[in-house]
Amino acid sequence: MISLFGFTPDTRPPGVWAQIEGVPHLLSSTAATHLLDLLSDFDPVWCTGWEERANDHLPGLLGLGPWPVIPIKNSRGAGTSVAGHWKLDAIDAFCGPDRPLAWIDDFLDEACERWATARPGPTLLVPTLPAAGLTEVETTALHSWARDL
């Protein structure tokens, strides 16, 4: 939701091109603005294959973080509440079952939906499009959800 892909060259979203460990990324400046806006209602945490490297790159490139990182390298795979998405086990371990949780990702599948439904704590899944990232629509929904808790 920060590193965008799948857009056509003539519809490139606003962002910063960066070469990170030899891989080119278009980092969404729009998503960065929205994440900063969400700080009034949320305590952000990175849950990314970049792991700690998110804090190595994103603060300087987008002004985000440094934020805590959910360690997924030691993840056992699927979540403890349901089988599925590769991040679930790590999120379960980091957040516990009862903490309110909003998860923003460009790859949320049916296993994520089952997991969110099974969690005892309030849980909101926020899917984003890989070519657009976090937009005002999702940000507004996140603020509304947080205020309704």
- Cβ burial of 53 (10 Å; 0-12, 13-18, 19+) is middle
Torsional class of 105: left (φ above 0), alpha (ψ -120 to 50), beta (otherwise): beta
DSSP state of 61: H
Single out the residue of 87, 127, 81, 134 nearest to residue 108, CA to CA. 127
Question: Rounded to a whole number, what is the distance in angstroms from the first to the last CA of the chain?
Answer: 24
pLDDT for 80 beyond 50: no
Domain boundaries, the chain: 3-148
Residues 6+ apart with CB under 8 A from 43: none
Express as a percent the part of the chain with pLDDT over 90. Answer: 74
Single out the residue of 30, 100, 17, 99 nearest to residue 61, CA to CA. 17
Please report the beta strands in the chain, taking only residues with DSSP state E, as ranges in sequence order.
Answer: 3-4, 15-20, 23-28, 101-105, 123-127
- List, for residues 112-143, the tens digit of each pLDDT value: 999 999 999 999 999 999 999 999 999 999 99
**pTM for this predicted structure:** 0.90
Structure token pair of residue 4: 């965008």
> Which pLDDT band, with edges at 50, 70 and 90, does 82 fall under?
very low
pLDDT, residue 135, reads 97
**In the chain, helix, strand, coil percent, each to 5?**
35, 20, 45
